[in-house]
Amino acid sequence: MAQLVLLPGKERQLARHHPWIFAAAVDRLEGRPRAGDTVEVVAANGRPLAKAGWSPESKIRARVWTFDTQEIVDDAFFKRRVQAAVERRLLLPELCEQEGLRLLHGESDGLPGVIADRYGDTVVLQLTAAGADKWRPALVRALQRATGCARIYERSDSDVRRLEGLLPVAGWLLGEASPTPLSIVENDVRMRVDIVAGHKTGFYLDQRDNRLLTRVLASGRRTLNCFCYSGGFSLQALAGGASEVLSIDSSGPALATAAENLALNPQLDASRAEWREADVFNELRLLKGRGERFDLIILDPPKFAPSAAHAERAAHAYRDINVFGFRLLSPGGLLMSYSCSGGISREHFQEIVADAAISAGREARILRRLTAPADHPVRLNFSEGEYLKGLLCQAD
């Protein structure tokens, strides 16, 4: 096994079991591993520290599989890790009956670069690191054994793979497409899941609990849902008794899917829903110019800052969208504002929203901090895993 030798003092992060080894921490590589091969990580004095997946083209040169230097990284290793992750979720009553569930959440489940989401009897696998990519067959076998799923589809087509020197990959790994469209029931609302062309693995499972909170808050409120995608927040607001729901997105196909999702739920009053195709920033300006007001506003924009390098530009976009949100909010109204950008910290996001409230001339308070549900855990020593952050605010 090749050895990755760290510079003196660079073993401190590993001592805290942080799983990333950056290029700046590496002294030298002894051996000739290929991308994705497992390497032994050693301190400058030769002391073994961990075993990791080698990523020669990434700034993160290696991602730790195990801090047990005696553990062998093989098929059996992935079988154990996958089984343990699935079983942890089954121990939580709130997750046991979910038709849509994240089974594997990367570093937080001890599987860097591995995401797996289950939709009914179909699992969608996403591999974003060279080490994960190398162990694809073992991961497929482990997932099939742990879940008994009939189908596994790969959606390894995210931009981050380019940073690893990997090409996008998508297609069936086990089984084939179901003859009927794939859908799940989430909090009594049925939603279509497009695992082939939809965002992420087909659906935003990380907003499940926040959609349910929207349902609780929406009763009697005029609601605005920005960047609505397939209508998850909108349908939960309707289910909660919103007086009306205006949903805006720039994607016509996404809005068509949202309308189809509404049609799948005849118990919801479709006359209270309006789907509007428009640039969200421009449309909010128009709504403000017409003097419109809303009692509940959801701002769930796309990832403006994929990394810290994009944070400054992203901060302006987040600030602008929240200024509009506060200006359109009725007195006593509620704003649910989110960021899924890993490059924006929770503290920075709060500062951005606070500045937006001041710019809008509003006094606001945080009622609740919002995050991902329990099937998206955050490892205590890996704060980078907490990518989704949100605030529920009330404005005077």
Distance CA 47, CA 194 (A): 48
Element containing residue 273 per DSSP (H, E):
strand 273-277
Alpha-carbon 57 to chain mean position: 24
> What domains can be seen in the chain, in order of their start residue?
3-66 (2.30.130.10), 75-174 (3.30.750.80), 183-395 (3.40.50.150)
> Both tokens of residue 171?
């297609």
| Mean pLDDT calculated for residue range 320-338 | 97
Of 249, 233, 389, 395, which Cα lies nearest the Cα of 326? 395
| Mean pLDDT calculated for residue range 269-275 | 98
Q: pTM of this prediction?
A: 0.94
Q: Is the pLDDT of residue 220 over 70?
A: yes
pLDDT value, residue 147: 97
Q: Is the pLDDT of residue 309 over 70?
A: no
Give the tens place of pLDDT for each residue, 119-160.
Answer: 999 999 999 999 999 999 999 999 999 999 999 999 999 989
Confidence of residue 341 (pLDDT cuts 50, 70, 90): confident
Exposed, middle or buried, 350 (CB in 10 Å: 0-12/13-18/19+)?
A: middle
Give the tens place of pLDDT for each residue, 349-391.
Answer: 999 999 999 999 999 999 999 999 999 999 999 999 999 999 9
Q: Is the pLDDT of residue 305 over 60?
A: no
Catalytic status, residue 340: yes
Check: CB of residue 152 under 8 Å from CB of residue 174. yes
Distance CA 269, CA 259 (A): 12
| Mean pLDDT calculated for residue range 199-225 | 97
Residue 51: what are its φ and ψ, rounded to 5°?
-125, 135
Give the tens place of pLDDT for each residue, 275-288.
Answer: 999 999 999 999 99
User: DSSP letter at 383?
Assistant: G
* Summary mean pLDDT of the chain: 96
In this structure, the strands spanning 189-192 and 183-186 are: antiparallel
Give the tens place of pLDDT for each residue, 77-123.
Answer: 999 999 999 999 999 999 999 999 999 999 999 999 999 999 999 99
Q: What residues have CB less than 8 Å from 281, skipping those under 6 apart? A: 320, 321, 324
In this structure, the strands spanning 329-339 and 294-299 are: parallel
Of 196, 195, 201, 209, which Cα lies nearest the Cα of 116? 201
pLDDT value, residue 310: 67
| Mean pLDDT calculated for residue range 328-337 | 98
Check: CB of residue 393 under 8 Å from CB of residue 355. no
Confidence of residue 44 (pLDDT cuts 50, 70, 90): very high
Active site residue: 149, 226, 340, 393, which one? 340
Cα–Cα–Cα angle for 102, 106, 111, nearest 5°?
A: 115
